[in-house]
A = this chain, B = another copy of it.
């Protein structure tokens, strides 16, 4: 807009630039928003669930070409095989169901901040790994702590010290989802709770775990959508990087 004011760019031309520049059209219907990292601190990430292998490949390839690393989440093994074959440098993390392309050397930022990612049960590990991979992708250290469910509080007590050494916590739990409440009563750190769809009967689909976390008596817990390990990873990394900034 300053350029427009200086007369260097005609207003209509500026409008055209606004429309065309920061976005890159990929295939017929996808548009990549390359300025997003500048604006929000998080590069655009490909959500693979309802996309074809070709759509993921095209979008991930376009993002990777910038050199800052790229990530696609919710990628099935079948789709991943196709993606990995066609995008240079891409690797599949099977449990976490995501495809990563590492940043080129000139795009690497210093690693900064530490996030604990806690899983209540073995069934919650996939979502916890989606979170920890995201944390790592965004340049923080991820500390994985698994199988410390609330039915055996003793196991958890033994890890309190580790939790206190992190800048932010991601706590992943299905079934009754009570683990974040217990941890938030013990540790003074920003805590993002992730309900998982692990459960059955009244808890099927994760709504009970989500309700438990949102209703928690322990103040300061915040919650993301069911199975949204990625979103929790972004939120926690955003906090940890801010806290740990030099």
Contact = CB atoms under 8 A, between A and B. Distances in A.
Given A201-B225, A207-B202, A152 B36 contact: yes
Contact of A29 (B31, B50, B147, B230): B147
A109 interface: no
Contacts of A227: 200-201
B186 A40 contact: yes
B188 A201 contact: no
A152 B19 CA distance: 12
Contact of A1 (B4, B153, B239): B4
B149 A49 contact: no
Given A188-B40, A203-B211, A217 B11 contact: no
Contacts of A60: none
A202 B187 contact: no
Contacts of A165: none
A235 interface: yes
A157 interface: yes
A76 interface: no
Contact of A185 (B39, B188, B209, B242): B39
* Total copies of this chain within the assembly: 8
B153 A220 contact: no
Contacts of A235: 190, 219-222
Interface in A1-37: 1-2, 4-5, 7, 9-11, 14-15, 18-20, 22-23, 28-31, 33, 35-36
Classify chain A's interface size.
35 or more
Contacts of A15: 1, 158
Contacts of A158: 15, 18-20
Given A40-B187, A150-B185, A210-B214, 15 more contacts: A4-B11, A5-B7, A5-B10, A19-B159, A39-B188, A42-B188, A49-B123, A153-B153, A182-B182, A199-B215, A201-B205, A202-B225, A220-B238, A222-B235, A242-B243
Interface of A: 1-2, 4-5, 7, 9-11, 14-15, 18-20, 22-23, 28-31, 33, 35-36, 39-42, 45, 47, 49-51, 55, 119-123, 125, 146-155, 157-159, 167, 175-178, 181-182, 184-190, 192, 195, 197-228, 230-232, 234-235, 238-239, 242-243, 245
